[in-house]
Amino acid sequence: MNLNLNYCASLVAASVLFTATPSYAGNVPESDDTIKIMTGDWTSIGLQGEMMQLILQTVGYNAELVVADDSGRYPGFENGDLHISMETWQTTQLQNLEKSVATGKVLDMGETGLAGVEDWWYPSYMKDRCPGLPNWEALKGCAEVFATADTAPKGRYIGGPVSWGDHDERMVAALDLPFEVIHPGTDAAMFAEMKSAYEREAPIVMWVWQPHWLTSVYDGEYVQFPKFEVDCFDDAAWGPNSADTYDCGKPYGWIKKMAWAGGEDVWPCAYEIVRNYNMDNDTLAALLKKVDLEGMSSTDVATEWLMANDDKWKEWASCAM
């Protein structure tokens, strides 16, 4: 819906480039039913969803983007209301995905090749003011540095929006960190506070995830917590606090694609295209910067990249060629 001038310009360009329409395999699309691709309230899933939508539409499928909540998506996928998600993060969705795949109604469509990171992040200038960083134990000694009048003597840590379902409170308790977790209502508010602090070189520690434009614009690094292992969440004895779980950093790792199992029979070629799709952190970060900072629409960015990487997506879509 959100068309702008650039988009129209690129559409015209696209039509010129594709005047010699390739002849697609006769059986694609296998069905005219609309493929529903999930998008969410962060940029990268929207961009990658847009790319998949464009590829599928180009080879002849009906596809649309549907907004769903990160943690609330599973019933939709199990019922067949949602069909494809381009991003499922190990960091926060590991257990949910495993549980959902176990029902047999949801498919794990493989890794995207992206590595997700999300954890406590601080600007580089904080290293001088809190010696010992990035080691997490340094935070115990310099909570006062991060404190504001309303959290003092505890430090102020900005977590994610309440509905994103992180476990920062449990982590703070298990690691005995003298910090208070502040929840914004939206990610825009988080970055507003980061921008304000960064401009003034004021103390801040905040939940930041990657791939995201922030880490390519602001200079900083992640706090090194005890490295995540599955036991950390299940076994109280594991980790620095032998009496509590969650005494570790957030799980780093893969970002997977997932799909509704019932769709395998309806659009087999589309599912193969989704399985073939892959991406790397640097490429995606550069594209995200275009959307988030340079103000291009995700549709424009996706169109531009696909046209420049014609061979790549046509290889993914070889079953439709």
Partner 1 sequence: MKFRSDVVLLEPMRLLLWAFFFTFVFFVINIGPDWMSSFPEALIFPVAEKVGSGLNWFARDAKIAGVPMQEITRSVASFFDLIIDATVVVLSKGIFTGRGLNVSQLVPPLSWMSIGGCLAIVSYRFGGRNLIVITSIAVLFLVLFGLWQNAMVTLASVLVSVLLAMAIGLALGIWSFKSQNVENVTRGVMNVMQTVPIFSYLVPTLLLFGYGPSAALVATVIYALPPMVHNTVLALKSVPTETTECGVMIGCRPRQLLWQVQLPVALGRLAVGMNQTIMMTLNMVIIASMIGAGGLGFNVLQALRKLDIGSGLEAGMGIVALAIILDRISQAAAQRAANGKHLEPGQRPLWQLLVVWLIFSSVIAFIFTPMQTWPDAWEISTASFWNAAVTWVNMNLFDILEGARNFALLEIMRPFNRFLQSAPWSLVVASVVALAFYLGGFKLAVYCALLMFFILLTGYWAPAMASVYLITISVLMAVMIGYPIGFWLSSQPQLKDTANFILDTMQTLPTLVYLLPAVMLFRIGDVSAVIAVILYALAPAVRYAMVGMSQVSPALLEAAQISGCTRWQTLKWIRFPAALPTLLIGVNQTIMMAFSMLIIAALVGTKDLGQEVLIALNRSLVGEGLVAGFCVACLALISDGLLKAAASKAEVSTIRKINS
**Nearest distance in Å: CB 232, partner 1:** 26
- Smallest gap from residue 243 Cβ to partner 1 (A): 29
Q: Which residues bind partner 1 (CB under 8 A)?
A: 1-6, 8, 11-12, 14-15, 17-18, 21, 41, 43, 53-60, 66-69, 71-72, 148-150, 158, 161-163, 182-193, 195-196, 199-200, 202, 213, 292-293, 295, 297, 303, 306-307
CB of 277: closest distance to partner 1 in angstroms? Answer: 15
Show Cβ contacts of residue 106 under 8 Å, excluding neighbours closer than 6 positions.
74, 77, 78, 97, 100, 258, 259, 260, 261
Q: How far is the CB of 6 from partner 1 (least distance, A)?
A: 7
Q: Shortest distance, CB of residue 56 to partner 1, whole angstroms?
A: 7
Which two tokens mark 62?
Answer: 């009906």
Nearer Cβ to partner 1, position 53 or 91? 53
Task: Decide if 68 contacts 38 (C-beta within 8 A).
Answer: yes
Number of C-beta neighbours around residue 196 at 10 A? 11
Please tell me the distance from the alpha carbon of residue 183 to that of residue 163, in angstroms, as a whole number. Answer: 10
Burial level of 237, CB count in 10 A (0-12/13-18/19+)?
exposed
Name which of 59 and 248 has its Cβ closer to partner 1. Answer: 59
Task: Give the C-alpha separation, 132 to 139, whole Å.
Answer: 8
143 or 174, CB closer to partner 1? 143
If the CB atoms of residues 51 and 248 are measured against partner 1, the closer one turns out to be 51
Residue 56, Cα to own-chain centre: how many angstroms?
Answer: 21
User: Closest CB to partner 1 among 137 and 193?
Assistant: 193
- The first and second tokens of residue 114, run together, are 């992206």
Q: How many residues are recorded in the chain?
A: 321
Tokens 């988030």 — which residue?
292
For partner 1, the closer CB: 65 or 236: 65
Question: Residue 153 CB, nearest distance to partner 1 (Å)?
Answer: 14
The three-state secondary structure class of 115 is strand
